[in-house]
Structure 1
């Protein structure tokens, strides 16, 4: 978004109704919700992954079907009234990007971000990855391996190694990915304050400017009390958090 806003292809202050007029009558406040609000999760559009009928344990690749879960539903709040994370924003932004570009935003990301940074282990779709190379994902007291689950684009479909995530975050913050105009726009609309989660997987990544260092944490088990927030045995917390917070798997330097 920042790159396309910088070259004039996008306007952060145009509304959802401007970009997707076919949805104007089906999303409340579409004529007031700007692209900036969607990027910042201040749109008030309901989150389709919280909607009745959404199944986290089934592959979900139909964007229209996902959107139908929140169309014609009341807004969660007035536009720009507050922050509330909603994956629906990403589905709508993806559709806007496709329309503006005239081709898929996944291809744009591959050409403008992945290729220049040499991110050869980052993918937009599960179908692009060798299944045997994927880390298995598990849910507490659930027998199936969850790595076969696909997720709707672009609300959680991307797959990457921890190393590629680290390279990307460093480049995003040290100026090597965006030019000055793009960086200024990026800094004005984004605040880095989010983790990643789908059933079977949890990730946290953070860039430390003072050390020019990225710390990336991937976990392949979720559900129940696997995070160890309340599981106390013998006065000590148990669970995944006690393992990952005390273990450095690999240190990379680039």
Structure 2
């Protein structure tokens, strides 16, 4: 009897705790999560705009079906230009997938070694970056270096430096976050340094290498390494909660997140990365040992999610041109609902 009473009491406590916790969750997120699932992806995209996102683009590539593009909201809110599914978008840290592919290719060609240290590649950083003689290229690719993240600098996004050297200066002579290879901690500094290593090794810009080895073979004609390479009218505007301006003019140039692309191009790249058509067997083995096969991106005014869902053999890419507040949480909820819709259609 006591056991049943105890279980009943614990159940009541759990329910009360659950209800209390909802009081601290913004209602818009609860609403987006609990609403009945729409029948179509387009309905879900429209619903997300109604929940406060300015604009959205979604690309769905299911094996055996023609890829589909969806869009809603604003491409340019000020000029009342509707969202364009073929618009260019700042993909942020999704760029790291392309850089990691370049590393795998160059390691396979014996131009790079994953076991060489930062000190081997840049002796001048010994004493400026703690543990430079212990941090390997592999650790940097995997975010296991312990090097502080320059974008974590207080007030960074208020006036971010453009030059790589200026961004690197923000972490020089600072203590490591942890001993090399002891933990995982996401750091954009890792990929800034990898970009510099690639440039030094190649003798020319790694952006050119990525174009030659990845973009051209896959016919990704709407993917660019830098914002400066494109017509800004073709780029989806970016907005942040509490700020009225357009953030698309902010230029983020280092290799940790500089690329601009259409949703379709990102989807084609992700499919090729996951199905093995981008890399040969040796390159694929190297890549699998160092990095992941999906990514998200987040810059002021821009959030993106690009994933391959093996169980339904489907790539889903989502672009949202609103950041700040709870918009990232809302974007994740919407993305997961879109995948559920696709999965339900697949099983029906």
TM-score for the superposition, normalised by structure 1: 0.88
Partner of 2:95: none
Q: Which structure would you say has the larger Rg?
A: 2
The structure showing larger relative contact order (alpha-carbon pairs under 8 Å, at least 6 residues apart) is 2
Partner of 1:68: 169
> Secondary structure of 2:165's partner?
helix
User: CA shift at 1:51, angstroms?
Assistant: 1.5
User: CA shift at 1:244, angstroms?
Assistant: 5.7
In the comparison of the two structures, how many residue pairs are matched? 238
User: CA shift at 1:59, angstroms?
Assistant: 5.6
User: Does 1:217 find its partner at 2:344?
Assistant: no
Write out per-residue CA displacement over residues 49-76 of structure 1, whole angstroms, 9 at most, x where no aligned residue: 002352x244642100000000000000
Asked if the contact 1:59/1:149 (under 8 Å) is kept, the reply is no
Q: Quick one: structure 1 residues 240 and 82, their matched pair in 2 at CA, closer, same or farther if it must change by over 3 Å?
A: closer
Asked if the contact 2:108/2:283 (under 8 Å) is kept, the reply is yes
**Could you list the runs of 5+ residues in structure 2 that have no partner in the other structure?**
1-102, 343-348
Write out per-residue CA displacement over residues 120-153 of structure 1, whole angstroms, 9 at most, x where no aligned residue: 1111111111110010110001011001011131
- Cα distance in 1 between the residues matched to 2:129 and 2:234: 40
Q: Quick one: structure 1 residues 57 and 132, their matched pair in 2 at CA, closer, same or farther if it must change by over 3 Å?
A: farther
- Cα distance in 2 between the residues matched to 1:183 and 1:93: 19
User: Does 1:87 find its partner at 2:188?
Assistant: yes
User: Does 1:119 find its partner at 2:229?
Assistant: no
Partner of 2:278: 177
> Secondary structure of 2:327's partner?
coil
**Among 306, 310, 317, which residue is 1:205 paired with?**
306
Q: Quick one: structure 1 residues 245 and 62, their matched pair in 2 at CA, closer, same or farther if it must change by over 3 Å?
A: same
User: Does 1:78 find its partner at 2:78?
Assistant: no
- Cα distance in 1 between the residues matched to 2:286 and 2:294: 17
> Secondary structure of 1:197's partner?
strand
> Secondary structure of 1:33's partner?
coil
Query: Relative to total residues, which structure has the larger helix share, 1 or 2?
Result: 2
User: Does 1:132 find its partner at 2:242?
Assistant: no
Asked if the contact 1:170/1:212 (under 8 Å) is kept, the reply is no
> Secondary structure of 1:116's partner?
coil
Q: Quick one: structure 1 residues 161 and 105, their matched pair in 2 at CA, closer, same or farther if it must change by over 3 Å?
A: same
- Cα distance in 2 between the residues matched to 1:189 and 1:240: 28
- Cα distance in 2 between the residues matched to 1:212 and 1:242: 21
Asked if the contact 1:4/1:10 (under 8 Å) is kept, the reply is yes
- Cα distance in 1 between the residues matched to 2:188 and 2:206: 16
Partner of 1:155: 256
Q: Quick one: structure 1 residues 53 and 67, their matched pair in 2 at CA, closer, same or farther if it must change by over 3 Å?
A: farther
**Among 124, 133, 136, which residue is 1:31 paired with?**
133
**Among 85, 106, 115, which residue is 1:13 paired with?**
115
**Could you list the runs of 5+ residues in structure 1 that have no partner in the other structure?**
230-238
Write out per-residue CA displacement over residues 23-62 of structure 1, whole angstroms, 9 at most, x where no aligned residue: 12200000000000000000000000002352x2446421
User: CA shift at 1:212, angstroms?
Assistant: 2.9
User: CA shift at 1:81, angstroms?
Assistant: 0.4
User: Does 1:99 find its partner at 2:200?
Assistant: yes
- Cα distance in 2 between the residues matched to 1:135 and 1:58: 21
- Cα distance in 2 between the residues matched to 1:79 and 1:226: 34
Taking only aligned residues, the RMSD between alpha carbons, in angstroms, comes to 1.8
Asked if the contact 2:294/2:308 (under 8 Å) is kept, the reply is no
**Among 124, 147, 150, which residue is 1:48 paired with?**
150
**Among 141, 145, 154, which residue is 2:246 paired with?**
145
